[in-house]
Amino acid sequence: MRVSLIVSLAAALAVTPVLAFAGAQPPSKPVAAGFYTGKWYEIARTPNSGQRNCEAPTTEFTAGGADSFSVRQVCRRDSATGKAKTFNTKGRIVAGSENAKFSMNFLGGMKKQEYWVLDRADDESWAIMATPGGNFVWLLSRKPVMAEAAKEAALARVKALGYDKLVFPQQPEA
């Protein structure tokens, strides 16, 4: 019995890293450098503690050089018109990723997080971004309200990538 338990535990631990990475899909399309300019509106995301009670979230990229940019994220508390909380940081495109991977620094550069653009509309009107580990995903749009057909197609893609549990933050009307 004890040997069986040890073998089962060892097998579970050996498989765990594979399962943890199974949700992360590599980016499917190259991204133009101009992708990292302008405002994006968050349409859907996986629930996460950092965005609890966050409504009308936006991310604005401003080019800062050949492979870098500034990021301004705004979250409104409890409603699309609630008090704004703003976060500013810097980002950098990951070399060799066809601009489809980038990293951002947090806490004055003490923490670095990589993000992947898993998919996007051909006209870059929407994008699916995620963390490489497959834990978190965001559906972003260039407009606060997506056309219904585009939203359905993008959400179908999010689900096909393995993300089922989503929340839909409020956005102001277009």
Contact 27, 95 (CB under 8 A): no
For residue 86, give Cα distances in angstroms to 16, 40, 45, 65, 89. Answer: 36, 14, 18, 23, 10
For residue 42, give Cα distances in angstroms to 2, 4, 108, 164, 167. Answer: 50, 48, 24, 17, 10
Task: Check residue 120 and give its pLDDT.
Answer: 95
Architecture of 24-160 per CATH?
Beta Barrel (2.40)
What does pTM read for this prediction? 0.83
**pLDDT-derived band at 109, boundaries 50, 70, 90:** confident
Task: Check residue 134 and give its pLDDT.
Answer: 87
What percentage of the chain has pLDDT greater than the value 90? 68
**pLDDT-derived band at 108, boundaries 50, 70, 90:** confident
Contact 89, 83 (CB under 8 A): no
| Greater model confidence, 82 or 66 | 82
Phi-psi region of 56 (alpha: psi -120 to 50; beta: other; left: phi over 0): left
- Residue 68 pLDDT > 60, yes or no? yes
